A = this chain, B = another copy of it.
C-alpha cells in the first residue's frame, strides 16, 4: 500500500471541447491514512478518476464525524454533479489542470505552506479563464455567451480573465477577513487572524501566517510571519517581479509602512518607515544603539537580520538602519478591527 500525498474530490467546469477549466474541491485531504486512504486507493487507482455521488457519501462516513471535511463530502454527495477525483501519490510536477487546482487548494486550506510543494508546470497547466457572474467560461466561448445573455436581458459580468481565480470562491479559511475578494488568488495561504484590507494583495504560493494586517502586496513566494503588518500600498519584491533569486520573508512583529517597500528579507521586529523603499542595492548607514555610525553597507548585507529600523534621515537625507529599540507597539486594535 503506497502513501498518498494529497487527494481531492470535487466539481469541475469544462469547455465545449470537454477540457477542464477549473476544479472546486470543497475539502481536499493531505496525506490521508487508514480506511480513507484505502477507499481512495481502491477507487482512484490512477492519478485521476470520475466518480459517482456514492463515493463522496462513503468518504464522508470515514472522515472524522462532525468535522468540516465529512460535512462537505456529504453535501457533495447530495449536490447531484459528476465528481472529479485526483489522487497524488507523490509531490511531483503538475501534470493536469485538476492537479494544479488541487495544489492551490492545499495552500489555501492551510494543508501546505508556501514554497513547500513542487509547483513545476503550474502555469502551463492552468488555462486562461473568463471568471464571470455565471461561473468560469472558456475564453473562446465568451463572446457568444455574452451576446446570448445580453439578448435575454441578463448581461454577464466579468470579474477577471486569468489563469488564477479568486481564493474566496473556493476556500474561505477560518478567522480571516478579506475586504475585496478580487485581491487574493487561489493558492494564497492566510493563517487564522489575517485581515486583508482593500489595498492588500496576496498571490498564490505566498501568504501571511497570521495574525497579520495586510494592506500591502505579498508577492509570489513571500511569507509574512505572525504579528507583522504591511501598510497601505507597501511592496514586497517577488521572484517573478524583479526581486531576482532572493525569496523574501518578513519576520514577526515587523511593520512595513504605507507606500514603503522591501527588496530584502527581514528578521523579527523590523520597521520600514512610510514611503521608503529599501532595495537590495540601497546603501544604508548602520547606526549602533547610541546612534553612532558603525558602517555603510548595501541593504542586501542586512538581509534577514532582526531589530532593524529603516528610515531616511531627514537631516542627512541618507537611508539609515537604526536599532529598533522601541518595541514596536503594534496597535492591537489593528488586529481586532478595521
Q: Which residues of A contact B (CB under 8 A)?
A: 11, 24, 26, 68, 71-72, 75-76, 78-81, 123, 128, 130-131, 133-136, 139, 142-144, 146-148, 150-164, 166, 168-169, 172, 176-183, 185, 198-199, 201, 203, 213, 215, 217, 219-220, 231-233, 235, 237, 240-242, 255, 257-261, 263, 273-277, 279, 281-284, 312, 314-319, 331, 333-334, 336-338
| B235, A241: Cβ atoms closer than 8 Å | no
Smallest Cβ distance from A325 to chain B, in angstroms? 15
Smallest Cβ distance from A273 to chain B, in angstroms? 6
Cβ-defined partner of A201 (8 Å) among B143, B199, B281, B316: B199
Cβ-defined partner of A181 (8 Å) among B159, B231, B242: B159
> How far apart sit A165 and B254, CA to CA, in the bound complex (Å)?
29
| A242, B257: Cβ atoms closer than 8 Å | yes
Cβ-defined partner of A11 (8 Å) among B134, B151, B203, B273: B151
Smallest Cβ distance from A131 to chain B, in angstroms? 8
Report chain B residues within 8 Å CB of A180.
Answer: 159-160, 182-183
Smallest Cβ-Cβ distance to A163: which chain B residue: B177
Report chain B residues within 8 Å CB of A257.
Answer: 242, 277
| A279, B273: Cβ atoms closer than 8 Å | yes
| B182, A169: Cβ atoms closer than 8 Å | no
> How far apart sit A152 and B82, CA to CA, in the bound complex (Å)?
11
Smallest Cβ distance from A185 to chain B, in angstroms? 8
| B315, A316: Cβ atoms closer than 8 Å | no
- Please name 9 further chain A to chain B contacts, defined as beta carbons within 8 Å, in addition to the given A274-B279, A312-B317, sorted by A numbering: A75-B144, A78-B148, A80-B152, A131-B157, A161-B168, A163-B177, A217-B233, A233-B259, A316-B317
Cβ-defined partner of A259 (8 Å) among B142, B219, B261: B261
